[in-house]
Copies of this chain bind each other. A is one copy, B any other.
């Protein structure tokens, strides 16, 4: 009987417009995940290259350019530019974490 109750809960009528929007959000999220995977492939290669070239993980001048560009793109796309900047901060924080890990593993054999 418990499973029949669960089935009833799962089949609770969903507003069709809400369902349609959630389906779109799910499609968009799948796109975001795959694009983010590609972005981290790029930044991991950048991390290896920077370690080889002896460049620091963080690059404030590059980040300032990226922030300014993304704020403009966000404004054109009617996305809050402050959110776009927070979003880039969030991604760059993860990238720097990856780069520091690459640097740490590059240094390890010299010990």
Q: Which residues of A contact B (CB under 8 A)?
A: 15, 17-18, 21-22, 24-26, 28-40, 42-43, 45-46, 49-50, 53, 62, 66, 69-70, 73-74, 77-79, 83-84, 87-88, 90, 94
Q: Which residues of B contact A50 (CB under 8 A)?
A: 18
Residue in contact with A37 in the complex, picked from B17, B38, B77, CB distance below 8 Å: B77
Kindly report how many copies of this chain are found in the complex they form together: 2
Asked if A28 contacts B35 (CB within 8 A), the reply is: yes
Q: Which residues of B contact A42 (CB under 8 A)?
A: 21, 24-25, 28
Residue in contact with A34 in the complex, picked from B29, B33, B49, B77, CB distance below 8 Å: B77
Asked if A33 contacts B94 (CB within 8 A), the reply is: no
